[in-house]
Structure 1
Amino acid sequence: MFHYTVETDKSVDDAIAALEQALAEEKFGLLWRFSIQDKLNEKGIEFDQKYEILEVCNPVEAKKVLSENDLAGYFLPCKIAVYELEGGTKIGLPRPTALIGMVQNESFESLRGIAQDVEKRLIACIDNSK
């Protein structure tokens, strides 16, 4: 499956706070938090759904990936979505293994191993924050 998504009873802000703590424990930094709701409303487009995109990165893992293949940088930083849907909050990410599968060359096996490790760690962060 392309993505990994879970549901939580926490608010979007509480889920993000818990996620930030879990990410820090895995040495992932929050580079950017983007509110789609705020940006659309700022542009005069009414959008009532709270929808946040987090861009996260572990610099050691990013260097490994970029050292293997420059095109892998197209998938960096990793994205995690946190949003309201039907009375609950969803937390999810595109699976790094699905994304890295698009890079088919001699470095694929090495990249796949890195992607599997990053994916496992990010899923653990999501599961620990729900």
Structure 2
Amino acid sequence: MFHYTVETDKSMKEAMESLETNLKDDKFGVLWQFDIKDTLQKKGFEFDQPFNVLEVCNPKEAQRVLSQNKLVGYFLPCKIVIYEDEGTTKIGLPRPSSLIQMIEDDSLKEFALDIENRLIACIDKTK
């Protein structure tokens, strides 16, 4: 499966706050937060589902992988979504190990899997 998604009993706000703390503990920072519902509504489009995209980065790891293969920049920063689906808060991400396959550079597979496992651990701690 190209993505990883979990459900939590936390509200979206609680989940985002907890996730940001867990990411920070693993040296990932939130570079940008995109509130899709708010943005679409401001543009005059009907969209009632709360849906946020966080772009996260660990600068040391980004520098390391970009020095090895610039094409990885197409996937950076990593994205984590937090949204409501039928009253349930969900947190997920596209798996870096799936995305990296598009580059066809076997030397990056272990790196992508490491980042994926670290981000999944942050998400799991947030549940």
Q: Which amino acid aligns with 1:129?
A: T
Identify unmatched segments of 5+ residues in structure 2.
none
For residues 14-68 of structure 1, give each alpha carbon's deviation from its aligned partner in whole angstroms, at most 9, with x where no partner exists. 1000000000000000000000001000001111100000000001110111111
Identify unmatched segments of 5+ residues in structure 1.
none
> How far 1:110 sits from its partner (Å)?
2.5
> How far 1:127 sits from its partner (Å)?
0.2
> How far 1:86 sits from its partner (Å)?
0.9
Which residue is 2:53 aligned to? 53
Which residue is 1:75 aligned to? 75
TM-score (norm 2): 0.98
In the TM superposition, structure 1's runs of 4+ consecutive aligned residues that sit over 3 Å from their partners are none
Contact 1:57/1:77 (<8 A) preserved: yes
Matches within 5 A, 1:1-130: 1-104=1-104, 108-130=105-127
Secondary structure, in 3 states, of the residue corresponding to 1:125? helix
Q: Structure 2 CA distance, aligned partners of 1:3 and 1:64?
A: 24
Q: Which amino acid aligns with 2:77?
A: P
Task: Give aligned pairs, total.
Answer: 127
